[in-house]
Amino acid sequence: MITRTNPAPMDGAKRSLVCKTGNWTHFTGLQPRNLDGDIKEQARDVVAQLEQLLSEAGLVQSDLFTVTIWLKDMRYFSALNSVWNGWVDAANPPARTCVSGELYRPDLLLEIVAVAYREAAA
Protein backbone atom coordinates (compact mmCIF):
# COMPACT_ATOMS: atom_id res chain seq x y z
CA MET A 1 0.00 0.00 0.00
CA ILE A 2 1.21 3.48 -0.84
CA THR A 3 0.35 6.48 1.32
CA ARG A 4 0.66 9.89 -0.30
CA THR A 5 0.65 13.05 1.78
CA ASN A 6 1.31 16.75 1.46
CA PRO A 7 -0.09 17.28 -2.03
CA ALA A 8 1.80 20.24 -3.42
CA PRO A 9 1.10 21.18 -7.03
CA MET A 10 4.04 22.87 -8.69
CA ASP A 11 3.28 25.16 -11.60
CA GLY A 12 0.45 22.91 -12.74
CA ALA A 13 2.18 19.56 -12.07
CA LYS A 14 0.28 17.38 -9.60
CA ARG A 15 2.52 15.73 -7.04
CA SER A 16 2.77 14.60 -3.44
CA LEU A 17 5.72 15.78 -1.37
CA VAL A 18 5.75 12.52 0.60
CA CYS A 19 5.02 8.95 -0.52
CA LYS A 20 5.37 6.03 1.88
CA THR A 21 5.29 2.31 1.31
CA GLY A 22 6.31 -0.23 3.92
CA ASN A 23 9.43 0.99 5.68
CA TRP A 24 10.35 3.43 2.90
CA THR A 25 9.43 7.11 2.73
CA HIS A 26 10.21 9.25 -0.32
CA PHE A 27 10.39 13.05 -0.18
CA THR A 28 10.19 14.66 -3.58
CA GLY A 29 11.43 17.89 -5.09
CA LEU A 30 11.87 20.08 -2.01
CA GLN A 31 12.52 23.65 -3.08
CA PRO A 32 13.09 26.87 -1.18
CA ARG A 33 9.95 28.86 -0.44
CA ASN A 34 11.76 32.21 -0.64
CA LEU A 35 13.71 32.50 -3.86
CA ASP A 36 15.19 35.90 -3.01
CA GLY A 37 17.90 34.43 -0.76
CA ASP A 38 21.39 33.25 -1.61
CA ILE A 39 22.34 29.57 -1.75
CA LYS A 40 22.85 29.30 2.01
CA GLU A 41 19.45 30.80 2.77
CA GLN A 42 17.75 28.60 0.20
CA ALA A 43 19.60 25.50 1.50
CA ARG A 44 18.63 26.27 5.12
CA ASP A 45 15.01 26.58 4.06
CA VAL A 46 15.02 23.28 2.17
CA VAL A 47 16.68 21.27 4.96
CA ALA A 48 14.25 22.83 7.46
CA GLN A 49 11.38 21.63 5.25
CA LEU A 50 12.95 18.17 5.05
CA GLU A 51 13.36 18.07 8.83
CA GLN A 52 9.70 19.04 9.29
CA LEU A 53 8.52 16.39 6.84
CA LEU A 54 10.72 13.76 8.51
CA SER A 55 9.19 14.66 11.87
CA GLU A 56 5.64 14.51 10.50
CA ALA A 57 6.44 11.02 9.17
CA GLY A 58 7.80 9.91 12.55
CA LEU A 59 11.35 9.87 11.24
CA VAL A 60 14.65 11.53 12.17
CA GLN A 61 17.73 12.57 10.20
CA SER A 62 19.50 9.26 10.86
CA ASP A 63 16.65 7.51 8.98
CA LEU A 64 17.71 9.22 5.74
CA PHE A 65 18.94 6.58 3.31
CA THR A 66 19.75 8.58 0.16
CA VAL A 67 19.65 12.25 -0.76
CA THR A 68 20.04 13.79 -4.20
CA ILE A 69 20.72 17.50 -4.45
CA TRP A 70 20.45 19.43 -7.69
CA LEU A 71 22.35 22.70 -7.78
CA LYS A 72 21.87 25.39 -10.38
CA ASP A 73 25.64 25.83 -10.45
CA MET A 74 28.44 23.78 -8.89
CA ARG A 75 30.04 27.02 -7.72
CA TYR A 76 27.47 26.76 -4.89
CA PHE A 77 28.83 23.37 -3.75
CA SER A 78 31.00 24.63 -0.84
CA ALA A 79 28.33 27.00 0.46
CA LEU A 80 25.73 24.23 0.24
CA ASN A 81 28.04 21.88 2.15
CA SER A 82 28.50 24.41 4.95
CA VAL A 83 24.73 24.35 5.52
CA TRP A 84 24.34 20.60 4.91
CA ASN A 85 27.20 19.60 7.23
CA GLY A 86 25.74 21.72 10.00
CA TRP A 87 22.35 20.03 9.63
CA VAL A 88 22.91 16.37 8.74
CA ASP A 89 23.40 13.68 11.41
CA ALA A 90 27.21 13.52 11.18
CA ALA A 91 27.34 10.07 12.78
CA ASN A 92 24.76 8.65 10.34
CA PRO A 93 24.90 10.60 7.08
CA PRO A 94 22.88 9.28 4.14
CA ALA A 95 24.36 8.35 0.80
CA ARG A 96 24.35 11.68 -1.04
CA THR A 97 24.70 12.73 -4.64
CA CYS A 98 25.03 16.33 -5.77
CA VAL A 99 24.70 17.28 -9.41
CA SER A 100 24.23 20.51 -11.31
CA GLY A 101 21.71 21.18 -13.99
CA GLU A 102 19.20 23.64 -15.25
CA LEU A 103 16.33 23.99 -12.80
CA TYR A 104 12.87 24.94 -13.96
CA ARG A 105 13.03 28.50 -12.54
CA PRO A 106 16.00 30.87 -12.94
CA ASP A 107 15.91 32.01 -9.28
CA LEU A 108 15.81 28.44 -7.93
CA LEU A 109 19.32 27.54 -6.75
CA LEU A 110 18.73 23.98 -5.50
CA GLU A 111 16.25 21.17 -5.15
CA ILE A 112 16.47 18.12 -2.87
CA VAL A 113 14.97 14.64 -3.16
CA ALA A 114 15.37 12.23 -0.23
CA VAL A 115 14.52 8.66 0.71
CA ALA A 116 14.29 7.46 4.31
CA TYR A 117 14.08 3.97 5.75
CA ARG A 118 12.82 2.95 9.21
CA GLU A 119 12.92 -0.62 10.47
CA ALA A 120 9.53 -1.89 11.59
CA ALA A 121 9.14 -2.11 15.36
CA ALA A 122 9.64 -5.66 16.60
Q: Where are the domains of the chain?
A: 2-8+15-117
Q: State the alpha helices, DSSP H only, in 1-122.
A: 39-56, 77-87
Let me know: does 115 contact 24? Beta carbons within 8 Å: yes
Residue 98 in this model has a pLDDT that exceeds 90: yes
- Whole-number pLDDT of residue 6: 72
* CA 10, chain centre distance (Å): 15
Q: Which CATH architecture has domain 2-8+15-117?
A: 2-Layer Sandwich (3.30)
| Mean pLDDT of the 16-29 span | 93
pLDDT digits (tens, 9 = 90+) for 54-95: 999 999 999 999 999 999 999 999 999 999 999 999 999 999
User: What is the rounded CA–CA span in Å between residue 40 and residue 47?
Assistant: 11
